[in-house]
Amino acid sequence: MGPHKEGLLRMSLLDGIGSPADVRLLDQAQVGELADEIRGFLVKQVSRTGGHLGPNLGVVELTIALHRVFDSPRDTLVFDTGHQSYVHKLLTGRQDFSALRRRGGLSGYPSRTESEHDVVENSHASTALSWADGIAKANELRGHGDRYVVALIGDGALTGGMAWEALNNIAAGQDRRLVIVVNDNGRSYDPTIGGLAHHLTTLRTTRSYENVLLWGKRTLRRSGPPGRFAYEALHGLKKGIKDVVAPQGMFEDLGLKYVGPVDGHDEASVERALRAAKAFAGPVIVHVITEKGRGYTPAEQDVADRFHAVGQIHPETGLPVAPSRFGWTGVFADEMVRIGRRRTDVVAVTAAMLQPVGLAPFAKAFPTRVFDVGIAEQHAATSAAGMAFAGLHPVVAVYATFLNRAFDQVLMDVALHQAGVTFVLDRAGLTGDDGASHNGMWDMAMLAVVPGLRLAAPRDEATLRDALRTAVDVDDAPTVVRYPKGAMGAPVPALEDVDGIDVLARHDAPAGATSVLVVGVGAMAATALETAEVLAAHGLRVTVVDPRWVLPVPAALTKLVGTYDHVVTLEDGVVDGGIGSLVGQRAREAGIGTPVQAIGIPRTFLEHATRDQLVGELRLRPQDVARDVLTALGGQA
C-alpha cells in the first residue's frame, strides 16, 4: 500500500496538529507518519476540489522541517508564488479543505485573512526574496534582530529577474537573519531552463561530495592512526570537491552562505541543514532537492506535469472526473501551428508555461522556433522586441494577469520602437478560483494607454483564428489577442459587417421606441445577445454589435454610437478606463451626445470564487444588465 493510500485510512497525527508548536513535539518516527498522512490527505481532498496537487506533495517534509526549526509567526515564512502552501496551512491549524478555492473556503494561496502565519498573498512568482529582504530590514531597525525571515522559492522562480535584484540587496545585509530555501525540483510548470537551471543541475547531479568525504574518513580509520599527510590529503580532497560542487561564483561570492544540496524528502536531513543555516545568523541559502508529486504514483509517472494544478480527478488513477471540453487555448494552439507552417518568421515565446498557454504543439512542430525564457515576462517582452528588429515576428503567450509585470517593456521597448510583436493573453477576464492575483481583468484598461497598440477580443473560434492571423501581419506596432479561460461556447455568427463592426442581432420595435446599441466585447458577446432579448421584450429597439478589434476604438463604432438613443458596453475587464469608458470618450470628442453606459468589473480585488458566482455578484448576468439599462433609461418600456 502506497503512503498516500495508507494516509487515507488513519489521520490521528494530523488531527492532533493545531499549530506549529504541536509539530515540534513529535519524535522522528512520528514525523514520518505525519508526512504519510499529509500526502494521503492532499490526494483525497484535492482530487475532490481541484487545486495545486503536485507542488504540495513535493514539499511535505520540507514544510514540516521549516515549522520544527523556526517559530512562526514570530519568525516570518514567505512562500514564493504560494501554490505550495497547502502543507503549511495544515500545520497551522487549517484542515478543512472541503471548500478549497471556493467561496467561503480556504484560498489556494496564503491569505492574511485566514491566519497570522500567512504574509504574502500575491501569487505572482519571484517576489518572495524582495518581501523577505524588506521584512528583515524592518526587523533590524525595529530591534527585532533575533527574529528570522525564511523565504521558500523554487528553482523556476529563481529565473525571474526580480529574485536576482533581491539577492543583490540581501547579500549586503550580513547581520540580518534571513534564510533562503531553494526548492529545487527542476521545473515550474515546465522544466526549468537557462544558465541557473544548468548550474543547479550540476549541483544536483554531483551529490557525491559528502559520500566521497565519508569514504575518505572511513579509509583513514581503517589504516590506523592518521598522520599529518593523511589529514592534509583529506583536506585537499574536501577543498577540491567543494570548488567543483559548491556554487562559489553564484552565491558565496555574493557573500551568501550556502548549505546543500539536501534531500528534501529526508526530513531529518532538511532539519539539520535548516538548523545549520539558522546558526549562521546571517543570510544563508539552503539548497533542497525535491520531487514534484512525491508519493502519488500517477504524478510521479507523469512527464507533462499534469498534476501541477488539477481539476476534480479520480484519486486512484489521476484521470479527470469529467473530460475537459475543447477550449480557447486549444484553438490558439492549433492556429499557431497553421501560422507557423505558412510563416517561417513567426516564433513563439513563453515564460516557463509552454504547456498551459498551448505552445507545446508549436514546439513539437518547430522546436527551434520556441524560446522559453523562464519566469521572466519583462525579459520576454524586450527580447521579443529585439527579435522583431532582427526580422522575426514573435508571439509572446502569457496569462493575462502576468502581462501586468511587463507593462513598462510593452510601452517603452515594444511600442516606442514600433516593434511587430504579438502578445496572446490567455485567462483574460474573470478566472475565479485562484483569486485576486489571477483574474486577468486589468489588461484592456492598462494597455489602452499604449500608443499604437491594437487589441482584439475574439468572441468564438472563428474570430480567434482571424484575430491571430491579422495580428501577426502587423509589423510596425504591438498587437494583443485576449481570450478567457476554459471551454469555448457555440459559434456566434455575424448578421452583417458594417465598416468592420460585426452586427450580431437586430430587434425591431414600433416607431418611436427608444433605440439601444449593445456592444459586446469578446467573451461578453453572448451576454450581450441575451441582454438584448430581455430589452427587446420591454419594447426597445436593440442592436448588438461586436467590434472584435477594440483598441484603438474603431472610428466606425464611434460613428455608430451617434445613431442610437442609448449605448451599453459589456466587458470582462476593469470598467474604469476600459473599453466602454473609451467609447464614451471618443463619442464626446466627436461631438456625439449619446449616453454610453459602461458595464464591467469594478476597480477592486476579487475574492476567490467560481466565475459564475463572480458574474452574479458583479451584476454581469443578462437579467442584471438589462435591469440596470432599464433603470438608466428611467424605467422605459
| CB-CB neighbours of 633 under 10 Å | 18
Which of 377, 482, 548, 586 is an active site residue?
377
Q: What is the tens place of the pLDDT at every residue in 113-140? A: 889 999 988 768 888 898 899 999 999 9
Which of 147, 292, 294, 485 is an active site residue?
292
Given strand 479-482, what is the order of strands in its sheet?
370-372, 346-350, 393-399, 422-426, 479-482, 454-456, 549-551
Mean pLDDT of 165-171: 88
578, 572 in Cβ contact below 8 A? no
23, 17 in Cβ contact below 8 A? yes
Q: What is the tens place of the pLDDT at every residue in 315-348? A: 766 667 666 656 999 999 999 999 999 999 999 9
Peptide bond into 491 cis (omega under 30): no
What are the start and end residues of each CATH 3.40.50.970 domain in the chain?
Answer: 62-292, 328-482
**What is the Cα–Cα distance from 40 to 63, expressed in whole angstroms?**
16
Q: Domain 328-482: give its CATH architecture.
A: 3-Layer(aba) Sandwich (3.40)
User: Which of 73, 84, 66, 82 has the alpha carbon at shortest distance from 121?
Assistant: 82
Q: Has residue 248 got a pLDDT over 70?
A: no
| Partners of residue 516 on adjacent β-strands | 542, 566
Annotated binding site for thiamine diphosphate: 83, 123-125, 156-157, 185, 296, 377
3-state DSSP call for residue 501? Answer: strand
At residue 220 the predicted structure's pLDDT band, cuts being 50, 70 and 90, is very low
State residue 513's pLDDT score: 93
Q: Domain 496-632: give its CATH architecture.
A: 3-Layer(aba) Sandwich (3.40)
State residue 575's pLDDT score: 93
Rounded to 5 degrees, φ, ψ at 24 are -70, -15
Q: Percent of the chain having pLDDT more than 70?
A: 83
377 is catalytic: yes
Q: Which helix (H) or strand (E) holds 169?
A: helix 161-170
Annotated binding site: 83, 123-125, 155-157, 185, 296, 377
405 is catalytic: yes
State residue 636's pLDDT score: 52
**What is the Cα–Cα distance from 417 to 501, expressed in whole angstroms?**
29
85, 108 in Cβ contact below 8 A? no
- DSSP per-residue codes, 256-269: -EEEEEEETT-HHH
- Cell triple for 530: 441575451
Q: Has residue 391 got a pLDDT over 70?
A: yes
**What is the Cα–Cα distance from 409 to 381, expressed in whole angstroms?**
6
User: Which of 401, 408, 406 has the alpha carbon at shortest distance from 436?
Assistant: 401
62-292 is classed CATH 3.30.1280.10 = no
Lowest mean pLDDT among 176-190, 507-521, 557-571: 176-190
At residue 617 the predicted structure's pLDDT band, cuts being 50, 70 and 90, is confident
User: Which of 528, 597, 590 has the alpha carbon at shortest distance from 560?
Assistant: 590
At residue 207 the predicted structure's pLDDT band, cuts being 50, 70 and 90, is very low
**Tell me, what amino acid is at 28?**
Q
State residue 317's pLDDT score: 65
User: Which of 9, 80, 50 has the alpha carbon at shortest distance from 324?
Assistant: 50
Mean pLDDT of 418-427: 96
Q: Has residue 625 got a pLDDT over 80?
A: yes
Q: Of residues 48 and 250, which shows the higher confidence score?
A: 48
Q: Has residue 245 got a pLDDT over 60?
A: no
Q: Percent of the chain having pLDDT more than 90?
A: 56
At residue 251 the predicted structure's pLDDT band, cuts being 50, 70 and 90, is low
Q: What is the tens place of the pLDDT at every residue in 282-315? A: 899 999 998 887 877 777 766 556 677 666 766 7
CA angle 435, 436, 437 (to 5 degrees): 100
Which of 39, 405, 427, 459 is an active site residue?
405
Please report the sign of the dihedral spanned by the C-alpha atoms of residue 23, residue 28, residue 33, residue 37: positive
521, 428 in Cβ contact below 8 A? no
Q: Has residue 432 got a pLDDT over 60?
A: yes
**What is the Cα–Cα distance from 551 to 447, expressed in whole angstroms?**
9
Q: Which helix (H) or strand (E) holds 450?
A: none
Annotated binding site for Mg(2+): 155, 185
**What is the Cα–Cα distance from 63 to 86, expressed in whole angstroms?**
10
Mean pLDDT of 616-624: 90
Mean pLDDT of 437-447: 86
What are the start and end residues of each CATH 3.40.50.920 domain in the chain?
Answer: 496-632
State residue 20's pLDDT score: 94
State residue 110's pLDDT score: 87
338, 362 in Cβ contact below 8 A? no
Q: What is the tens place of the pLDDT at every residue in 42-78? A: 888 888 888 788 888 889 999 999 999 999 999 999 9
Q: Model pTM?
A: 0.80
Helices H / strands E in the chain, number of each: 26, 18
Mean pLDDT of 420-425: 97
282, 295 in Cβ contact below 8 A? no
